[in-house]
Amino acid sequence: MAYQITVIKGDGIGPEIVDETIKVLDAVGEKYGHQFNYERVLMGGESIDAYGVPITDEAIAIAKKSDAVLLGAIGGDTTTSPWYQLSPNLRPEAGLLKIRKELGLFANLRPAYLYEELKGACPLKEEITKGGFDMMIMRELTGGIYFGDRKTEEVNGVMKATDILTYDENEIRRIAKWGFDIAMKRRKSVISVDKANVLDSSRLWRKVVEEVAKDYPEVKLEHMLVDNCAMQLVRDPKQFDVILTENMFGDILSDEASMVTGSIGMLSSASLAEGKFGLYEPSHGSAPDIAGTGKANPIATILSAAMMLRYSFDLDEEAAKIEAAVGQVLKEGYRTSDIYEEGTKKVTTSEMGSLIAQRV
Ligand code: IPM
Ligand code: MG
């Protein structure tokens, strides 16, 4: 079969990690007889430099027509890069928000788990992580405070800024369904995270999640306040299977969860629309400080491509093959700088990509 993939390399380490991922995808294509066609479009800083906007309508149209989008990372150093002198709607991140909204990518899946081989990098005490942990953060991605009206104004000589947080029940219901569907394929537990002791939007969230839960009698549902969740993630990460939450809470908690694993360079993500379409990118950012040094870890992006095969193309076997190849390379002791420990073999970004491609 032929699959059309829109490729966005982006900024910082984006191009290097995407190149390695394409190496691995091509190896999969060759082995299983699939053709992956890539069409490159620009987003973030690279698009600002070329066109003056963080994403063009043409780029969005190309993405819409394709089967899936593979993204590296976007953005630069927010204190030194000239991109951050531009007005907020022209900065790199605005491109990402726009593509999420325009492509209807409302369901963001961010897995966070402890790799047995990389346990040494986990910042938590061993007594807490004994037995490992494995959670999936389901973050709502096209609603909430990210997409509400916002303004900055002067009222009676005083500067005032407003950001509005709204959810309607349909937005909550569709992400909640995704959360329960995923939980059915995992350990059948959903912890829905909100701030229902303060926010109306959270009280509606809780009510709708409870309604959806009735259709999934096998899944155990609990509610947790977001501040408590932030604490529980470091106190006892094992308790989490699926964390279901709104946009901004998910943004914050997913960074925390990935740090807790000790290997943010290993964590993939998928942003899915209704149907099979999705955008796949690593959970980490563009790390401009190490761009071009060969230190970047391409594994998160490679594993995101595995998610693309699974969720957008229904190629489960091929996805599992990539994941197994990653596991094998780690077992053989190969490490990029970020996960290097004494006694292991340090390799560059491109060597890591080749090692994984060979094992596919
Ligand atoms: C993420 C990022 C984005 C977000 C930024 C770059 C706009 O932090 O994907 O988590 O806040 O959603
Ligand atoms: Mg974030």
| Boundary-marking domain end, from 205, 232, 260 | 260
Distance of CA 295 from the midpoint of ligand 2 (Å): 22
DSSP 326: H
Which residues are known to be catalytic?
146, 195, 227, 251, 255
Per-residue pLDDT of 78-115, as tens digits, reads 999 999 999 999 999 999 999 999 999 999 999 999 98
The CATH number of residue 244's host domain is 3.40.718.10
CA distance 230 to 213: 23
What letter represents residue 335's amino acid? R
- The closest of 223, 231, 224 to 124, measured between CA atoms, is 231
Supply 255's token pair. Answer: 């960074």
DSSP H/E element including 110 = strand 107-113
CA distance 215 to 220: 12
Distance of CA 348 from the midpoint of ligand 1 (Å): 27
**What is the percent of the chain with per-residue pLDDT over 70, rounded to a whole number?**
100
pLDDT at 72 over 90: yes
Q: Is the whole model's pTM more than 0.85, yes or no?
A: yes
Closest ligand to C-alpha of residue 269 is 1
pLDDT at 121: 86
Together in a domain, 4 and 91: yes
Mean pLDDT of the chain: 96
Residues whose beta carbon lies within 6 Å of some atom of ligand 1: 75, 93, 96, 251
Distance of CA 253 from the midpoint of ligand 2 (Å): 9
The total number of structural domains that make up the chain: 2
pLDDT at 119 over 90: no
Per-residue pLDDT of 250-299, as tens digits, reads 999 999 999 899 888 899 999 999 999 999 999 999 999 999 999 999 99
Provide the residue range defining the domain that includes 147: 123-260
For ligand 1, what atom is nearest to the CA of residue 100?
Answer: 12
What letter represents residue 43's amino acid? M
Neighbours of ion ligand 2 (CB under 5 A): 251
CA distance 206 to 185: 22
| Boundary-marking domain end, from 227, 260, 293 | 260
Sign, Cα dihedral of 292, 296, 299, 303: negative
